Amino acid sequence: MSLRSISFAVFLVFLALLPQLPVPEFWITQANYIGLYTLVVIGLVLLTGVAGLTSFGQAAFVGLGAYTAAYLTLTFGVSPWLTVWAGLAFTGCVALLLGWLTLRMSGHYLPLATIAWGLSLYYLLGNIDALGKYDGLLGVPAIQFFGVALNTGRSFFYLLWTLVILAIVAVTHLLDSRTGRALRAVKGGTTMAEAMGVDGFRIKVMAFVLAALLASVSGWLFAHFQRTVNPSPFGLKMGIEYLFMAVLGGVGHVWGALVGAGVVKILEDQLQVLLPKLLGSSGNFEIIVFGVILVLVLQYARDGLWAFVEARLPKVNRKVDWQNAAPLSERARPPRGEVVLDVQAVRKEFGGLVAVNDVTFQVRAGEILGLIGPNGAGKSTTFNLVTGVLPATRGEVKFLGQRIEALPSREIAKRGVSRTFQHVKMVPGMTVLENVALGGHLRGSQGVLASMLRLDREEERRLLREAERQLVRIGMGDRIHELAGNLALGPQRLMEIARALCADPALLLLDEPAAGLRHQEKQALMAVLRQLRGEGLSILLVEHDMDLVMEVTDRIVVMEFGTKLMEGTPADVQASPAVRAAYLGTEH
Ligand code: ADP
Ligand code: MG
């Protein structure tokens, strides 16, 4: 058994024994609050830590769960075992609507929207007569579990912590899956994820709803634990506190949620006793201390407290269990010589700048087409037009006979176009293997629930086997367990190529793949490109290393100032005075 599983087992035993020990009731109550908070903060780990979306509104979702439970039980006598589902359904719908409205917009819109949402729910709850206004609903009954009333802190403890552990396990599973990789990939921009076929908007909404559902369960438990609900624990102050717990514990780690919730809850109580003694009067001084701590954490320990624990745990490589998995099915490749990509008079203007000026070229199956030109010639922009990252101002792009210029990039990826980026885009905190498996996103289909329940393992093995196969092919078979962020630039580029290949494309677009590569790596890259061409793949290659371009391409398109200067074989291009002039920057 590994140290991690031993620690987990010890933790479970500790939880099972705690209520049986002569621990003062105060500490059982504390532990229960920590559990309630942990559920909410796990959602924030997914949302903020993993997907990069900041929410101050989680307390409001807790409120929806709590009020639904309290209202239905008190008014209609509905069993708590049913109200929890009602709360989940209601919270899920509200979160879906809010997410759908706000997640399309970028940057700071979501945090602001969640603040507005957190504030308005608080005032709404406080003004509804049926919900007891600011006094709330009193006398919520205890949950009955097979005839036993969970009306003591100790009996409630077991139900609560069972759910907390289930949530921790489910979210840990989710993060280690096809969906989890996609979720990590949308942090800080969806361009790369979309190029791998991930629906960035959808996956963000999914994370938002999931986080809201966890909060809702916490609210249900809260209502039956406190036996009363009123608006104050569901306001903006608590929303900020949840986020504080997540940041303090470590937004990227599921266990960080537990650490953050635990430290904040215990600290808060101690400070509430200590600070008035020190300062001689009472007030919410702990808020000031929390603010100072938050600044310190952000300054000196950006990854939160759990990162310190994590760094001291022995690093375990993922167990290689995919060697015997069935290979993934492969796309039928177009016959050699057929036109795969047909770019007709495509144009891109950025304000007054014409970055791509009515450029026309074709790529055929089993051919490597070089796209060269001085810096700023419009090569990367052409890539972005072909892959749907940017909309064309006008012109036509056809892939295997179908128009694609108006499609979003994930649709283009689905049709068989895969690419790398001039500036490497990856998930630095994932291993090389996981980054490459992200390229296989469209070749899998298992979703959130299957991942949480681990019903996705067979497909996962097939995906990882494919990812490893592509890494071996590109000469990185011995680095699969390394963190992508720790690689040098050259290997990062190779990893991107493996990721693009993992998508089983018919057309591969490589934007300066050899930049930062050493001589031997370049030789290996050339060998791989030739091999891929031999397999019938079409490649569009942007590259500044002229030796490589001349050696490996079949034809070359030369661009200058957005315009196509010439097209021909490597020999034609080398002999052209116009091309030489363009590179030397002289008039021709
Ligand atoms: P290359 O890849 O050939 O070096 P690019 O396609 O990156 O060239 O850029 C072509 C021109 O378009 C450059 O002048 C660049 O400054 C401009 N450009 C590229 N992207 C943008 C953008 N998003 N907004 C405005 N101008 C851009
Ligand atoms: Mg470029």
Summarised one tens digit per residue, pLDDT across range 513-554 is 999 899 999 998 999 999 999 989 999 999 999 999 999 999
Give mean pLDDT, residues 125-138: 93
Give mean pLDDT, residues 106-133: 89
Give mean pLDDT, residues 297-307: 84
Mutate to test the pocket of ligand 1, among 191, 348, 350 (most ligand atoms within 8 A of CB): 350
Nearest CA, atom 12, ligand 1: 355
What atom in ligand 1 is closest to the CA of residue 373?
3
Give mean pLDDT, residues 175-191: 93
Nearest CA, atom 18, ligand 1: 355
Q: Left (φ > 0), alpha (ψ -120 to 50) or beta: where does 304 sit?
A: left
Give mean pLDDT, residues 176-199: 94
Residue-level pLDDT at 585: 62
Cα(355) to centroid(ligand 1), Å: 6
pLDDT at 209 over 70: yes
Q: Which of 305, 379, 289 is nearest to 343 (CA)?
A: 379
Cα(403) to centroid(ligand 1), Å: 24
Give tens-digit pLDDT for 82-109.
999 999 999 999 999 999 988 887 667 8
Domains and CATH numbers, the chain: 28-311 (1.10.3470), 337-416+506-588 (3.40.50.300), 429-504 (no CATH)
Give mean pLDDT, residues 108-137: 91
Let me know: does 256 contact 305? Beta carbons within 8 Å.
yes
Residue 228's DSSP bridge partners are: 138
| Residue length of the chain | 588
Q: How far apart are CA 512 and CA 167, in angstroms?
A: 43
HSE-up (13 A, CA, CB side) for residue 360: 4
> What SS3 state is found at 246?
helix
List, chain by chain if needed, residues with CB within 6 Å of any ligand 1 atom: 350, 353, 355, 373, 375-381
Q: Left (φ > 0), alpha (ψ -120 to 50) or beta: where does 586 sit?
A: beta
Give tens-digit pLDDT for 332-377.
889 999 999 999 999 999 999 999 999 999 999 999 999 999 999 9
pLDDT at 287 over 80: no
Residue-level pLDDT at 480: 96
Helices 200-226, 80-102: inter-axial angle, 10-degree rounding: 140
Residue-level pLDDT at 588: 41
Give mean pLDDT, residues 567-577: 93
Residue-level pLDDT at 279: 78
Q: How far apart are CA 159 and CA 148, in angstroms?
A: 12
| % the chain with pLDDT above 90 | 80
Residue-level pLDDT at 285: 78
Residue-level pLDDT at 587: 47
**Ion ligand 2 residue ranges (Cβ < 5 Å):** 379-380, 422
For residue 194, what pLDDT band results from cuts at 50, 70 and 90? very high
pLDDT at 382 over 90: yes
Cα(387) to centroid(ligand 1), Å: 15
For residue 586, what pLDDT band results from cuts at 50, 70 and 90? low
pLDDT at 243 over 70: yes
| % the chain with pLDDT above 70 | 98
Average per-residue pLDDT for the chain: 93
Q: How far apart are CA 163 and CA 156, in angstroms?
A: 11
**Lowest-confidence pick of 45-49, 70-74, 575-579:** 575-579
The token duo for 5 is 């599983």
Burial of 13 (0-12, 13-18, 19+ CB in 10 A): exposed
For residue 298, what pLDDT band results from cuts at 50, 70 and 90? confident
Residue-level pLDDT at 107: 66
Q: How far apart are CA 516 and CA 544, in angstroms?
A: 11
Residue-level pLDDT at 20: 93
Give mean pLDDT, residues 480-496: 95
Largest Cα separation within the chain, whole Å, is: 91
Report in angstroms the alpha-carbon separations of 94 from 13, 73, 87, 88, 221: 38, 21, 11, 10, 19
